Structure 1
Amino acid sequence: MPILRLRSTRIALQTTAAVLTATLGFFAWQSFFPVQAAKGWSVEVVHRDVAKAASLLPQADGSLLVSRELDDGRGSILRITAQGAREVLVDKLSKPDGMVAAQGGWVFSQEGGQAPVSLARDGKVTALFMGESVQGLWDDGAYLYAIEDRKGNGRLMRYQWASGQLEVLRSGLSETEGLTRCADGRLLYTEKASGKIRALSDDGQDPVVVQGLRNPTFLMCDARGLWISEDNTHRSRLLRVDADGTQHTVLTFLKAPQSIVPDGKGGYLLAEGGRNRVLRLSPL
């Protein structure tokens, strides 16, 4: 009888070890499996060791601004020159996330709780207005739009540059992260948990324009369509949606991708925060 018990125990331990090994192997495979590009596209790494890369903002001199989305005052905005040199422009931030060019400088948000949305210009940082967990930003010259990533009490706000007045356009939003305007005039925003993208409407109904997504976060519109990155830890995708609503998966096996921006050469730069790097996506 003791021999049978010993054998059963050994079998159970071996089975448990096999299951654990398979599980760890599966997660390792998901973490290290290389990013895959769809037919007609190529992808390469252009910058490594950029901790929690989130928003990207190319500059006229060929340099790139990157927000490093670290919390508790450890976040910063980094400038990477065309030659690869690095310089911290703004530090002691809490999850700096959105960035957008505006007013001869650039605006950045912080998602780490209550913090100002600020304008950086000529080496100076000026607080514009307070928000809580602000992520997405969009500027049209007259107004700056900002959206909060909160559960059930987020807001979509509009700041008027001329007067400094802040208007709340929507409240009671949940996990709204990305914000962009398309050529047809629609202002779009993401609902991460529900997997939807909505269009701001005058009647307040904000119709769904894309759904069935997996944690959509940053958005960008251009001549090729609407670009959407999905903020998943494993097997994330970069999607493109045509004007007729057709979805195309452009990149797969990403890890927590964030903002996508044009690279000025016909391709795009994509922040892959989960792997602390910046990718270049190019059409073949």
Structure 2
Amino acid sequence: MNSTGSMNRALRAGLSLFGLLGAATLGFFAWQSFYPVSAAAGWSVQTVHRDVPKAASLMPLPDGSLMVSQELNDAKGSIVRIHPDGTREVVVANLSKPDGMFATHGGWVFSQETGNAPVSFLKDGVVTELFRGENVQGLWVEGDDLYAIEDRKENGRLMRYRWSDQSLTVMRDQLNEGESIARCTDGRMLYTEKKKGVIRELTDDHSDPVVVAGLNKPTFLMCDERGLWVNEDSTHRARLLLIDRQGRQQTILSFLKAPQSIVRIGDGTYLLAEGGRDRVLKLVSQPLTLASDGVKH
């Protein structure tokens, strides 16, 4: 009788402990999901658009509206236009994981991050297939050249498409989760390998040196006179980083959830797609003020 009672008490204690551990785990993930985004000193952040499912690439337009790719799978994805008054217009529907976007040639090119999907050109409401790739994510256009990078494990490619003759050249292969490619203001063309946590420079001799290492799932890149902006494609405690010309790294935003692209919309103002929370954030640089003691705050 005593033995049976002891076993029952032990079983109840074990179940209670298991329940507590489960509750703690759920609480931890809830905290991760809902903990507010934190901005570094000198910056402020606010939500400007909510309910934007899997927001990925952003493209501001001259009239103040915003093109957003909604990276849903199984033909549920789309590219939408959010007008200045907040109304939304579906520009392209029935896409599978639409991701990269780039304005060029009087229209927009966009990718779909799924198997053997086309990179397409949208102009005047007409969508034209340019070429196909496997899980194409990042895009970059310079004149006659359209660069595209594949987010594939170990077998990813970086490709160049020529508008003039529709030729497609594989520039690099065997990449490990390449996600973004961008030209910086200093002339360097950089691309990410998310799995390896590195950013490389695309060079003529194919050496492609690592320029930044030790990152946590680096995804979209953007350069301006402040330096290199890097988003971390992590679902918990992701960051937006700014790396200056001297290589100094600063965390501008913390506690993001799967952030994607960042674009500049004005002097000291940026938009950021936070796909993990289905929203678009606005990041603003706060001007320094001179206190009576002569110290900048």
Aligned residues: 284
Q: Is the 8 A contact 1:72 1:112 kept in 2?
A: no
Mapped partners of 2:262, 2:272: distance in 1 = 4
Residue 234 of structure 1: aligned partner: 236
Residue 105 of structure 2: aligned partner: 103
Greater shift, 218-227 or 113-122, is seen at 113-122
Residue 202 of structure 2: aligned partner: 200
Partner SS, residue 29 of structure 2: helix
* CA deviation after TM superposition for structure 1 residue 116, in Å: 1.2
Partner SS, residue 86 of structure 2: coil
Residue 58 of structure 1: aligned partner: 60
Structure 2 counterpart of 1:122, from 121, 124, 128: 124
Residue 291 of structure 2: aligned partner: none
- 2:218 is aligned with what amino acid? P
Mapped partners of 1:110, 1:9: distance in 2 = 51
Mapped partners of 2:268, 2:198: distance in 1 = 28
Mapped partners of 1:246, 1:264: distance in 2 = 24
* CA deviation after TM superposition for structure 1 residue 3, in Å: 2.2
Quick check: 1:32 aligned with 2:28? no
- 1:197 is aligned with what amino acid? I
Mapped partners of 1:264, 1:90: distance in 2 = 27
Deviations 1:42-96 (CA, angstroms, capped at 9, x unpaired): 0000000000000000001110000000111111000000110000000111100
Partner SS, residue 282 of structure 1: strand
1:1-284 matches, within 5 Å, as 1=2, 2-284=4-286
Alignment TM-score, normalising by the size of structure 1: 0.98
Mapped partners of 2:247, 2:22: distance in 1 = 42
* CA deviation after TM superposition for structure 1 residue 10, in Å: 1.8
Mapped partners of 1:234, 1:200: distance in 2 = 30
Partner SS, residue 178 of structure 2: coil
Q: Is the 8 A contact 1:216 1:229 kept in 2?
A: yes
Partner SS, residue 241 of structure 2: strand
Mapped partners of 1:110, 1:5: distance in 2 = 57
* CA deviation after TM superposition for structure 1 residue 195, in Å: 0.3
Mapped partners of 1:152, 1:16: distance in 2 = 39
Mapped partners of 2:283, 2:213: distance in 1 = 24
- Alpha-carbon RMSD: 0.9
Q: Is the 8 A contact 1:240 1:248 kept in 2?
A: yes
- 1:59 is aligned with what amino acid? L
Which stretches in structure 1 are left out of the alignment for 5+ residues?
A: none
- 1:251 is aligned with what amino acid? L
* CA deviation after TM superposition for structure 1 residue 265, in Å: 4.8
Alignment TM-score, normalising by the size of structure 2: 0.94
- 1:263 is aligned with what amino acid? I
Q: Is the 8 A contact 1:266 1:282 kept in 2?
A: yes
Mapped partners of 1:173, 1:112: distance in 2 = 16
Larger radius of gyration: 2
Percent identity over paired residues: 63
- 2:31 is aligned with what amino acid? W
* CA deviation after TM superposition for structure 1 residue 221, in Å: 0.5
Q: Is the 8 A contact 1:99 1:108 kept in 2?
A: yes
Mapped partners of 1:77, 1:266: distance in 2 = 26
Greater shift, 42-51 or 8-17, is seen at 8-17
